[in-house]
Amino acid sequence: MDKNRIILIDNEEGLCRMIEAVLGDNGYKVDSFTSPFKAIEAFKPDIYDLVISDIKMPGMDGLEVLQKIRALDQHIPVIMITAYATVETSIQALRKGAYDMLTKPFEPEELLYRVKNALHANQLENENRELKQKLAHGSSFEQIIGATAGLKSVMELVRKVAMRDTSVLITGESGTGKEVIAKAIHANSTRSEKRFVAINCGALPANVLESELFGYKKGAFTGANTDRKGILEASNDGTLFLDEVGNLPMNVQQTLLRFLQEHEFMRLGDTQPIKVDTRIISATNSDIKQQMQDGSFREDLFYRLNVVNIHLPPLRERRQDLPLLVSHFIQNNNAKFGTTVKGLTSEALQLVYSFDWPGNIRQMENVIEACMTMVDGGRIDAEIMQQFLYPDTEADPHPCDPSMSALTPAETEYSQALAEFETKYLRTLLKKADGNVEKAAELAGMNMATIYRKLKKHTISKGEFS
């Protein structure tokens, strides 16, 4: 693979061949031109990494070439070659944006040295520029959706703590997006190019958690046949996210506290401490202060973890954000599954607003994905939405009208008659369709999801007709 692509402009064909050979032998790809006009026509931004141009050329001198190149790409480095180096010429070239001056004749080693320096400096500038753009435009926050005041204050705090290498404790109910916030902190920190490692402290038994987190030496316990690095050591220079940190057993709490104080720990069965540089971000949905009173969580560890606290509001306190989140998840699933769902009907959106979302954002994401499996396009209606929000209740045709919640005797009689009619109609329909629900839906002009819901409602098995 070529190291870098270079465009060379010099009216002396012999010099072009020599430079091509020197740079080509060192892995660089060189496109050379003896005509500056053709070189300018061929030049495209983001294709080349370096320009080398002679100053004295017929028709268009190197300083004019430099100006035209700079107009097309203001960041690409340009090395000017001249046999008539003067202080005035050099100053003029540098003022117009040249990176370096190379005087003829020159040795191949000098050429390579200047080229290497120019490319390295340009790489550093590009990385610095990308980082600044990333931080300025918040490109690492695209997964955090919302406009409520509570979320805005959270994001402002995230921006502030991201660049400060300190411990952060994220609190909030299950499903509020604590890991998403942790990833945003990491992505906007100076550790963004290193690893982000997450571990759920409540998902592993205590003995397994300790060995997974800190690693072990060979022979530390039965089955420890080799030395093994733990997650903490593997995330050196990066970020370790401890989810559900309230579930840490006391022995692990003690080792973690030592690490936070001394930046070192010992693997299981080891006698030599290991130093690592890892940032700890933790999260919990439990009441750690109550755990401290109960004696199940160390107070000194809590204060080490909770240098900065970020509390995420539950979804029921972010109703203004509900349409934004729905739209976000629909777009994601359309892209993932190649579907064309446009959104929700107004009745379905009313259901979203009226629901308390006890599982928060995670629950909404799952509900939207489930609803989208029931439609091929168009909009998700209230009947489909209600199947997943209230799976144990029958569909209410007027979910937002409290006056319909209690039926009169006449309405009850009507409902019974309707149920009898639907049962007879569905049986006749499935008989015609030989038990094929898709065909039955086509015959009835109904949605398949509606047919399935009514079959469940009236305890009719399609297998009876196939």
Q: pLDDT tens for residues 118-156?
A: 887 777 666 555 544 544 444 455 567 777 777 888 888
Task: Work out the average pLDDT over 97-103.
Answer: 83
Compute the residue count for the chain: 466
Look at residue 1 in the predicted model and tell me its pLDDT: 37
436 and 322 inside one domain: no
CATH code of the domain in which 339 resides: 1.10.8.60
CB count, 10 Å around CB of 433? Answer: 20
408 versus 220: the higher-pLDDT residue is 220
Last residue of a domain, one of 68, 101, 133: 133
Does 294 score more than 80 pLDDT? Answer: yes
Task: Work out the average pLDDT over 98-123.
Answer: 84
135 versus 210: the higher-pLDDT residue is 210
404 versus 281: the higher-pLDDT residue is 281
Does 89 score more than 60 pLDDT? Answer: yes
CA angle 234, 237, 240 (to 5 degrees): 60
Does 402 score more than 50 pLDDT? Answer: no
16 and 101 inside one domain: yes
- pLDDT band of 8, cuts 50, 70, 90: very high
Domain contains 398? no
289 and 217 inside one domain: yes
Domain contains 399? no
Domain contains 394? no
Domain contains 400? no
Specify burial of residue 54 (Cβ count, 10 A radius: 0-12, 13-18, 19+): buried
377 and 413 inside one domain: no
**Over the stretch 166-200, which tens digit does the pLDDT of each residue have?**
999 999 999 999 999 999 999 999 999 999 999 99
Eight-state DSSP code of residue 166:
-
C-alpha span between 209 and 212 (Å, rounded): 5
Last residue of a domain, one of 133, 150, 181: 133
76: CB partners within 8 A, 6+ apart: 45, 48, 49, 50, 51, 69, 122
Is residue 210 within 8 A of residue 251, CB to CB? The reply is yes
Task: Work out the average pLDDT over 98-124.
Answer: 83
Does 115 score more than 80 pLDDT? Answer: yes
Domain contains 396? no
Distance of CA 69 to the CA centre of its chain: 36
345 and 226 inside one domain: no
Helices marked H in 73-140 = 87-95, 108-137
462: CB partners within 8 A, 6+ apart: 430, 435, 436, 437, 455
CATH code of the domain in which 170 resides: 3.40.50.300
Does 421 score more than 60 pLDDT? Answer: yes
294 and 190 inside one domain: yes
Look at residue 394 in the predicted model and tell me its pLDDT: 47
C-alpha span between 450 and 238 (Å, rounded): 50
97 and 112 inside one domain: yes
**Over the stretch 442-466, which tens digit does the pLDDT of each residue have?**
787 776 656 776 777 788 887 788 6
Last residue of a domain, one of 133, 149, 183: 133
Domain contains 362? yes
111 and 250 inside one domain: no
Q: What is the mean pLDDT of the chain?
A: 83
C-alpha span between 375 and 263 (Å, rounded): 53
99 and 211 inside one domain: no
C-alpha span between 105 and 108 (Å, rounded): 10
CATH code of the domain in which 432 resides: 1.10.10
**Over the stretch 317-336, which tens digit does the pLDDT of each residue have?**
988 888 889 988 998 899 88
465 and 369 inside one domain: no
325 and 274 inside one domain: no
Look at residue 375 in the predicted model and tell me its pLDDT: 86
The domain in which residue 364 lies consists of: 314-388
- Whether pTM > 0.75 for this model: the answer is no
Task: Work out the average pLDDT over 93-118.
Answer: 84
227 versus 185: the higher-pLDDT residue is 185
pLDDT above 90 as % of the chain:
37
Does 32 score more than 50 pLDDT? Answer: yes
293 and 377 inside one domain: no
- pLDDT band of 403, cuts 50, 70, 90: very low
Domain contains 11? yes
- pLDDT band of 311, cuts 50, 70, 90: very high
Look at residue 7 in the predicted model and tell me its pLDDT: 94
Please count the structural domains in the chain.
Answer: 4
Domain contains 401? no
Distance of CA 182 to the CA centre of its chain: 11
Does 405 score more than 50 pLDDT? Answer: no
Task: Work out the average pLDDT over 106-114.
Answer: 88
CATH code of the domain in which 71 resides: 3.40.50.2300
- pLDDT band of 414, cuts 50, 70, 90: low
Task: Give the pair of three-digit tokens for residue 431.
Answer: 């008989």
